Amino acid sequence: MTSKTKTAIFAGGCFWCMVKPFDTQPGIISVTSGYTGGHVPNPTYGQVTTGTTGHTEAVEIEYDPEVISYERLLDTYWQQTDPTDALGQFADRGDSYRPVIYYGNEEEQKLAEESKQQLEASGRFEQPIVTKIEPRAPFYPAEEYHQDYYKKNRVHYNLYREGSGRAGFIRKHWTDKISKK
């Protein structure tokens, strides 16, 4: 990371499906799949999936704030998750798949809280918005085979994105916003 760039960390279920929506935008330097929010240093995928480490699958996004704002990252985040489901995301269930925005400073916390309130007030969802907003914890990159999964395993990625229910949920709840991009 250079002094000009910043990072954001978001958990929204399976990290495979959280990379591409950010990675394909101008101003994104890198998107790393990994684990955060737990109590075990340098956890493995196998450890995290047991649900005993306290970690969530997350993405760490390095970005250029002169090209893309944190607010735009938040908009992208909301449009990739089911913010009404605190127990996982789509086909993936359990704490390691819970939706969380991890803030790095007071400004990020304020912007995340405001965006959550705006989404709640929008009436887009009938149920309450339950996504957590928590302080950042150490982020540990996942194993190499998880990185850029949508590029390395296109067919499986696309099948998983549809089969998990994520793609259908996004089409149902966000088509009006997506078509305006």
14 is catalytic: yes
| DSSP secondary structure code for residue 19 in this structure | H
Catalytic residue among 14, 61, 74, 129: 14
| DSSP secondary structure code for residue 95 in this structure | G
Pairing assessment for the beta strands 99-103 and 132-135 based on DSSP bridges = parallel
Contact 97, 124 (CB under 8 A): no
Give the pair of three-digit tokens for residue 89: 């995301």
The torsion defined by the Cα of 77, 99, 150 and 171, in degrees rounded to 10, comes to: -60
User: By C-alpha distance, which of 156, 136, 159 is closest to 146?
Assistant: 156
| Strand partners of residue 139 | 36
**CA separation for the pair 141, 44 (Å, rounded):** 9
Helix (H) or strand (E) segment spanning residue 132: strand 132-135
Active site positions, annotated? 14
